[in-house]
Chains A and B, each alone.
Chain A
Amino acid sequence: MSAALVRAEGLRKWFPVRRGLGDALRRRPPLFLKAVDGVSFEVKEREVFCLVGESGCGKTTTGRLLLRLEEPTSGAVLFEGKNIFELEGEELKEFRRKAQIVFQDPYESLNPTMKVVDIVTEPLAIHGLLNGRDDKLEAAAKALEEVALTPPENFLYRYPHELSGGQRQRVAIARAMILKPKFIVADEPVSMLDVSIRAGILKLMLDLRERYGVAYLFITHDLALAKHIGDRIAVMYLGKIVEVGGVEQVIDNPLHPYTKALVAAIPSPDPREKIGAIPVIGEIPSPVNAPLGCRFHPRCPYATEECRRREPELVEVEKGHYVACHLYSH
């Protein structure tokens, strides 16, 4: 088994909720939106680790914490053994070279006033790794070839608006790859793209892993997608990981009642297969006032007294397959 590249330890990110003067005068206690509330996991070298969950579950904030794009309320992220929140100077710069991001929306993540050649080489420029114009052109051409935007001459001097969504996302991946990172956070990288071009982008990302040994934190709401491209998967609910394991372990044999409901709710392209009963009550509550005990208990058909009182920890149910649910802790 390969070594841990990134390790999240007890990560918390609480955002203060804005209060009015009235709240302060009445001495109401401050409120927090607990976007990420005690999350631990590790991404191994060369691994595709999928983080799935519904909107507002905290998966994007977790991804941003792993890159130190947010400072945590508490907890640590170890990258190659060092806590990234304590890095300074040269060490921090080195981390920034080794860890990159690909955003969801290639229509917004690329500067519309910059040409492709400048967009993909910007990380080199920022890190002072460019020596003149020829060097830049060569580096840009090579980066575009890596993402199959060929011949590069056809793309170098174009602006983002002249490219299709799939081509833009390839440019974003070229930019992320140009510093030869070891770790990429990919936040819903294909959800804005049409189905017919998604698979091409995913295949490219997996090829880059083969070629350069990059590891991904792949954030997605789509469990079916995670099953086909991921190695391991973590399911988040209201700021917590409720289940983690191999993709086939978790998706083919979900243990947590929430994961079960998620899997059951996915429609199938086969018209003979219909969505059955979905064992879940109501909708996700606000992460500002997360329920006590197990956060899923108000929606869970199996909730007991214990679930209402005590928060479950992740326990290993089969090798490498962990679930945070009292139903499995006895």
Chain B
Amino acid sequence: MLHVRNLKMYYEVGSSYVRAIDGVSFSLGKAETLGIVGESGCGKSSLAATLLKLLPSNARILDGEIIFNGIDLVKLPEERMRKEIRWKNISIIFQGSMSALNPVMKVGDQIAEAILAHEDGVTKREALERATEILGLVGLDKSVAKRYPFELSGGQRQRAMIAMALVLRPKIVVADEPTTALDVIVQAQVLKLLESLREKLGLSLILISHDISVVSEISDRVAVMYAGKIVELGPAESVLLKPAHPYTRLLIEAVPSVKGARKTLKHIPGQPPDLSNPPPGCRFHPRCPYATDECRSREPELVEVEKGHYVACHLAGGAG
């Protein structure tokens, strides 16, 4: 469905580069959910923006390819990206539904506008009908089409955002922190909705979140990002139950679980590196309790430790 190979996207800041995405490779299968988890500044939202080439003017895709249906999106001119790919084939759900929706336009009109902008020979009325229909698909009442975003609750707005992302029947949806601003009950409802839509429509989903529990809930495979790189990638059960990278392991230990006995939560000392000047070798080595001289000097590659489970750590397989 989608193959990303050695993708590098840096932000140009003055005379230096912030290495937001620094050699990321993964693939996404049909009707599969890939969860991407990482902390703030790890490059996960930059990755979402790069996949759709919705980048600010100082962003540079320096290397790598994004292959969709045999086409390399990195090389595709903006005109074709806009006409053929974005929204039609790959769409995105942003995190702040209040800021992503136009506040002075009725919800139905906004969705209809997306249809009219991308499809030829559709009348305004047909577009509005389809907009109303898609609102029903995401569990909203048809009357929502005639309302303004401020008249909706946070959960309803997020559903409207999802409706907009789906209205052109894309094959891939990138959801960037789709539940972060929501309360826990609404979050659960939105996650269930995404899961059911994926099944019903055969969508492929890339779910980006800082919350390992959110990713765990609906992902088939999980990628863990740290400092612009994927450090671990594999089937959800394998990565989350048998984490091989020390960062993944420590991150899971830092998450409080509502089930089971009370425990002392552990934190990871230090903080993520400055991506304009990342440390040599493994980027996690300054915070890693197991770091060796090799970790300080040589960068680890992703290696397969189990079928489909990849880890970028010098210690994985052996001591890990």
Residues in A lying within 8 Å of B, measured CB to CB:
54-55, 164, 166, 194-203, 221-225, 227-229, 247-248, 251, 261-275, 278, 280, 283-284
Contact = CB atoms under 8 A, between A and B. Distances in A.
Contacts of B39: 194-196
A264 B192 CA distance: 13
25 contacts: A54-B185, A166-B271, A194-B272, A195-B211, A195-B212, A195-B251, A196-B250, A197-B271, A198-B254, A203-B265, A224-B255, A227-B256, A227-B262, A228-B265, A229-B265, A251-B258, A265-B185, A266-B213, A268-B213, A269-B213, A269-B240, A271-B219, A271-B236, A278-B189, A283-B155
A223 B256 CA distance: 9
B214 interface: yes
B187 interface: yes
Q: Nearest 6 CB-CB pairs, A to B?
A: A199-B267, A199-B265, A200-B267, A265-B188, A54-B183, A267-B213
B237 interface: yes
A16 B101 CA distance: 30
Interface of B: 39-40, 153, 155-156, 183-189, 191-192, 210-214, 216-217, 219, 236-237, 240-241, 250-252, 254-259, 262-269, 271-272
A223 B236 CA distance: 24
A237 to B, nearest CB: 11
B183 A221 contact: yes
Contact of A199 (B211, B258, B266): B266
A251 B267 CA distance: 23
B153 A275 contact: no
Given A261-B185, A271-B217, 19 more contacts: A166-B271, A194-B40, A196-B250, A196-B251, A201-B267, A202-B265, A263-B258, A264-B188, A266-B184, A266-B188, A266-B213, A267-B211, A268-B216, A269-B212, A270-B257, A271-B219, A271-B241, A280-B185, A283-B155
Contacts of B267: 196-201, 203
B259 A55 contact: no
Contacts of B219: 271
B185 A275 contact: no
A228 B253 CA distance: 13
Contact of B210 (A194, A199, A228, A248): A194
Contacts of B272: 194
Given A194-B39, A196-B267, A267-B214, A262 B237 contact: no
Contacts of B213: 266-269
A228 B185 contact: no
Contacts of B183: 54-55, 221, 284
Contacts of A55: 183
A55 B153 CA distance: 12
Contacts of B257: 224, 268-270
A199 B184 contact: no
A168 to B, nearest CB: 12
B246 to A, nearest CB: 12
Nearest to A222: B256
A7 B5 CA distance: 60
A111 B213 CA distance: 35
A249 to B, nearest CB: 12
A225 B254 CA distance: 10
Contacts of B189: 278
A266 B259 CA distance: 10
Contact of A274 (B186, B210, B217): B217
A199 B241 contact: no
Contacts of B153: 283-284
A222 B186 CA distance: 14
A268 B254 contact: no
Contact of A272 (B210, B237, B254, B256): B237
B210 to A, nearest CB: 7
Nearest to B213: A267
A225 B267 CA distance: 13
B207 to A, nearest CB: 12
Contacts of A199: 254, 265-267
A269 B155 contact: no
Nearest to A56: B183
Contacts of A251: 258
Given A197-B268, A261-B185, A268 B258 contact: yes
A50 to B, nearest CB: 12
A55 B185 CA distance: 11
Contacts of A267: 187-188, 191, 211, 213-214, 216-217
A247 B265 CA distance: 16
A223 B258 contact: yes
* Residue in A194, A251, A274 whose Cβ sees the most chain B Cβ within 10 Å: A194
B185 A271 contact: no
A271 B207 CA distance: 15
B154 to A, nearest CB: 8
Given A199-B265, A228-B265, A278-B189, A270 B255 contact: no
B265 A221 contact: no
Contacts of B262: 227-228, 247-248
Contact of A195 (B210, B217, B259): B210
Contact of B186 (A198, A224, A283): A283
Contacts of A273: 259
A271 B192 contact: no
A196 B258 contact: no
A166 B287 CA distance: 15
Contacts of B155: 283
Contacts of B192: 275
